[in-house]
Amino acid sequence: MNALAEELNRTLDGTCAGRLLSKIGTRMYFPKGILSQSAEATERAKRHNATIGMAFMHGEPMALDAVLDQLPGLSRREAVAYAPTAGVPATRAAWRKEMLKKNPSLAGVGFSQPVVVPGLTAGISYLADMFVDEGDPVVVADMFWPNYRLIMEERKAARLASYRFFTPEGGFDVAGLEKAVGEASRTSRKAVVILNYPNNPTGYTPSVKEADAIKAALVRVAESGVDILVISDDAYFGLQYEADNLRESMFARFATAHSRILAAKVDGQTKEDYVWGFRGGFVTFANPTLDEKAYDALVKKLMGVVRSSVSNSTAPTQHILAKAMADPRYEKQKIEFSAMLESRYRRVKAFLSSRPAPKGFKALPFNSGYFMCFECEGFSAEALRVKLLDEKGIGVISIQEKWLRVAFSSVDESSLDELYTDIYTVAGTMSKA
């Protein structure tokens, strides 16, 4: 094993982070090679810097005017130069500041500096590289983003262990989560848990009371001697529409929850800042027993994963995000867009409460985010999806043949009644078939 990896492992020795590391995570490190030597030269090479693989002219990166003209708000360096492996420092600092603003209970809590990754999918995949080995249990609700399966089961050969998302009464199934984590970790004494709120596909965020119960449940499992990585997938963070919704990330609750719980937050500008194609995300760690040196070790291991896969994330989008967050219009416009999505949510709720659903077609609880789901009983959700597409020209998503996901976020409010009327009409023909 590389000496740098061994040094990082010694730093993490005796912590749950160290025990949770996968075989890849144990071997990973950030090399003291071209990048670190280039960084040193950037600070100290006062005459000539001949380290980095970029082309310069008169001290600035060469850049085509045809490219620069498309990015008038960026300097040459911001537009075309490489970003550091962990991300542009100003962007990382700005995002950390935003995290504290959005999660006030993190005030005074130690956590790592966010590391930039090329999208939330990459963030979850990189965490899998660091902490998931073949056969390891990864606990998700039965209604989960399908890419979890591709990442965890197909790429990492882990095993997904699921529990039902909702109780029969329509609340979050905390007891089911606790049982699933306990059973999955019985042999290995470790588990990875993914919590995604607002949830894709359900559009559900737990209440504050449910969030506290989720924390208590996983703390009980940790107290039994199980090391747990709790991944908060916060792709749709900030889009809560009901008064009792949890407004903070679950990361804030787990950051200091237990010495055996490593909290990891995966978030980013993709949906929070309405820039889906920017492919920008962040990964942040927290645990009450880790100090700055340990956080630095985790970050260096994550940097090794980034360096060995994509080298670094796109620089221009990072600079654009940092400038946007400093713009006085930033918060106001986000509030306006959030209100627009909430108004669509209210419109859907009003439609569902105004008329009976077709037989075997039940709307599941939803209170946040982009989506809502119907449960199909007695007929195939996939068959309904195809029929909607063929007969009405309506596109929706079927999941596991059982659920139909509707993204009300992508339809203008004025068209929602028409959309749901057509869905009800076609679902009614399915239930009678």
pLDDT in tens, 196-254: 999 999 999 999 999 999 999 999 999 999 999 999 999 999 999 999 999 999 999 99
The structure tokens listed for 349 are 């709720």
> Do residue 289 and residue 409 come from a single domain?
no
Answer for the pair 213, 171: CB distance below 8 angstroms, yes or no: no
Measured CA to CA, the distance from residue 205 to residue 210 in angstroms comes to 9
- In this structure, is residue 128 part of a structural domain? yes
> Do residue 407 and residue 357 come from a single domain?
yes
pLDDT band at 35 (very low <50, low <70, confident <90, very high): low
Answer for the pair 82, 312: CB distance below 8 angstroms, yes or no: yes
Domain that holds residue 195: 3-30+85-326
pLDDT > 60? residue 137: yes
> Do residue 248 and residue 385 come from a single domain?
no
- In this structure, is residue 209 part of a structural domain? yes
- In this structure, is residue 76 part of a structural domain? no
Mean pLDDT (the chain, rounded): 95
* pTM (global) more than 0.85: yes
> Do residue 210 and residue 189 come from a single domain?
yes
Measured CA to CA, the distance from residue 399 to residue 421 in angstroms comes to 21
**What is the CB-side half-sphere exposure of residue 103 using CA atoms within 13 A?**
22
Mean pLDDT, to the nearest integer, of 13-30?
Answer: 97
Query: Pick the residue with more confidence: 48 or 89?
Result: 89
Number of domains into which the chain is organized: 2
- In this structure, is residue 67 part of a structural domain? no
pLDDT band at 92 (very low <50, low <70, confident <90, very high): very high
**Pick from 37, 77, 80, 72: nearest CA to 59:** 77
Phi, psi of 140 (to 5 degrees): -135, 155
> What's the confidence (pLDDT) of residue 432?
66
- In this structure, is residue 105 part of a structural domain? yes
pLDDT > 60? residue 269: yes
> Do residue 240 and residue 303 come from a single domain?
yes
> What's the confidence (pLDDT) of residue 49?
76
- Single out the residue in 326, 349, 368 at which a domain terminates: 326
> Do residue 267 and residue 284 come from a single domain?
yes
> Do residue 335 and residue 318 come from a single domain?
no
> Do residue 241 and residue 358 come from a single domain?
no
Residue 422 sits in a domain whose CATH number is: 3.90.1150.10
Q: What is the pLDDT of residues 41-63, one digit of tens each?
A: 677 867 777 777 889 888 899 99
The structure tokens listed for 111 are 């956590």
> Do residue 170 and residue 157 come from a single domain?
yes
Answer for the pair 281, 124: CB distance below 8 angstroms, yes or no: no
> Do residue 404 and residue 270 come from a single domain?
no
Residue 115 sits in a domain whose CATH number is: 3.40.640.10
- In this structure, is residue 380 part of a structural domain? yes
DSSP 230-297: EEEE-TTTT-B-STTB--S-HHHHHTTS-TTEEEEEEE-HHHHTT-GGG--EEEEEE-TT--HHHHHH
> Do residue 266 and residue 297 come from a single domain?
yes
pLDDT > 70? residue 336: yes
> Do residue 336 and residue 318 come from a single domain?
no
pLDDT > 90? residue 340: yes
> What's the confidence (pLDDT) of residue 45?
66
- In this structure, is residue 155 part of a structural domain? yes
- Single out the residue in 295, 326, 357 at which a domain terminates: 326
- Single out the residue in 326, 353, 388 at which a domain terminates: 326
Q: What is the pLDDT of residues 284-333, one digit of tens each?
A: 999 999 999 999 999 999 999 999 999 899 999 999 999 999 999 999 99
